[in-house]
């Protein structure tokens, strides 16, 4: 069975010397697992491919490690985004059957982001873009970002909305007061990342993004960033209140796709499946943070039919990304 994973990360030297400095410091001061992650995220060559082969992963769609370039000012973001995309272009040229790419975009300057998306998709066949959350507290429902969304819709490519740390005021209000280690994980991978991303997608819905750009498709990871559990409840905000043409749940079922990315939890998967249907679900491992082997084992034991497993493993990604 062919497999395509969609939330698989890399890091460039420029990223690690810039917005990734905190990540490097945490990795080098932590235990062996974080040091291994730092080594793996730098590699898009033979070592990664060998690990893919061992786990039964055929294709990775590569994306720049969080926090990406989204918190940078325009010029710095443009330089690093182009460096990152060139890094992926080189990896895909060397291994065209094993890698594809989601573009990094300098969203601080939307017109430059549009140009970079055009270059990445039009010239080099990138499969869409990955945006690491907000830009200094501004979310994609802000009309400031409309040129990016409009161009993604015109190019018929999705935007993967990836977690990032909530704005500082939210971190202070909601996640502080514990040990530094607990507060950091609470605000990030242990909880805050996922709630932050779910809020981001709901802001896009409530802000009318999918009414203005009805063909735009968004991807979120981690079995939906808590959205499937709350999906039916969101409709308490009815169209009479929101001014939207349809219930919120309709947009979450028709404009959003969902990947695993490290959430190898059967109960969570079943909730997602029951809420959005198999055609909206796609495989991922969240490498190097998640294990490719564990992700593949989870895929193989899903309580679904063979045909549905094939859709999740590769068919839905091939359709959405035109692979």
- 156 has catalytic annotation: no
CB 113 within 8 A of CB 107: yes
CB 110 within 8 A of CB 151: no
Which spans in the chain are helix H? 13-17, 21-29, 32-42, 46-55, 74-94, 110-118, 124, 146-155, 168-175, 180-187, 192-206, 209-212, 227-230, 239-242, 248-254, 266-276, 292-300, 306-310, 316-321
Question: pLDDT of 19-52, one tens digit each?
Answer: 999 888 887 877 778 889 999 999 999 999 999 9
pLDDT at 47: 96
Q: Is 13 exposed, middle or buried (0-12, 13-18, 19+ CB in 10 A)?
A: exposed
pTM: 0.97
The band of 214, judged by pLDDT with boundaries at 50, 70 and 90, is very high
CATH of the domain at 273: 3.20.20.140
**Which residue of the set 90, 286, 300, 308 is catalytic?**
286
pLDDT at 34: 84
Q: Tokens representing 200?
A: 């981001």
Question: pLDDT of 71-130, one tens digit each?
Answer: 999 899 999 999 999 999 999 999 999 999 999 999 999 999 999 999 999 999 999 999
pLDDT at 43: 96
Number of domains in the chain: 1
What is each CA distance from 68 to 9, 82, 129, 200, 289, in whole angstroms?
10, 12, 12, 17, 16
Could you give the percent of the chain with pLDDT greater than 90?
95
The parent domain of residue 282 ranges over 4-321
Mean pLDDT, the chain, rounded, equals: 97
């Amino acid at each position: 069975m062919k497999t395509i994973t969609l939330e698989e990360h890399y890091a460039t030297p420029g990223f690690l010397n810039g917005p990734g400095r905190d990540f490097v410091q945490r990795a080098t001061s932590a235990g062996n697992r974080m040091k291994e992650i730092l080594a793996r995220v730098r590699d898009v060559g033979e070592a990664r491919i060998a690990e893919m082969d061992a786990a039964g992963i055929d294709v990775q769609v590569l994306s720049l490690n969080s926090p990406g370039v989204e918190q940078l000012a325009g010029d710095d973001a443009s330089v690093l985004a182009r460096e990152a995309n060139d890094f992926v272009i080189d990896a895909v040229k060397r291994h065209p059957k094993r890698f594809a790419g989601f573009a990094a975009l300098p969203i601080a300057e939307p017109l430059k982001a549009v140009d970079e998306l055009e270059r990445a998709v039009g010239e080099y066949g990138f499969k869409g873009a990955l945006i690491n959350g907000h830009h200094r507290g501004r979310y994609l429902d802000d009309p400031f970002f409309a040129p990016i969304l409009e161009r993604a819709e015109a190019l018929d490519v999705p935007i993967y909305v990836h977690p990032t740390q909530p704005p500082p005021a939210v971190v202070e209000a909601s996640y502080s007061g514990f040990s530094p280690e607990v507060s950091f994980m609470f605000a990030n991978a242990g909880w805050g990342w996922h709630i932050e991303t779910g809020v981001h997608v709901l802001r896009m819905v409530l802000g009318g993004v999918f009414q203005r750009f009805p063909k735009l498709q968004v991807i979120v990871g981690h079995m939906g960033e808590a959205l499937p559990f709350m999906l039916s409840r969101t409709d308490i905000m009815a169209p009479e209140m929101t001014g939207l043409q349809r219930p919120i749940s309709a947009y979450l079922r028709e404009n959003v796709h969902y990947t695993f990315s490290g959430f190898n939890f059967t109960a969570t998967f079943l909730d997602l499946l029951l809420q959005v249907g198999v055609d909206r679900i796609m495989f991922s491992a969240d490498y190097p943070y998640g294990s490719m082997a564990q992700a593949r084992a989870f895929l193989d034991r899903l309580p679904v039919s063979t045909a549905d497993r094939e859709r999740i493993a590769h068919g839905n990604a091939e359709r959405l990304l035109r692979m």
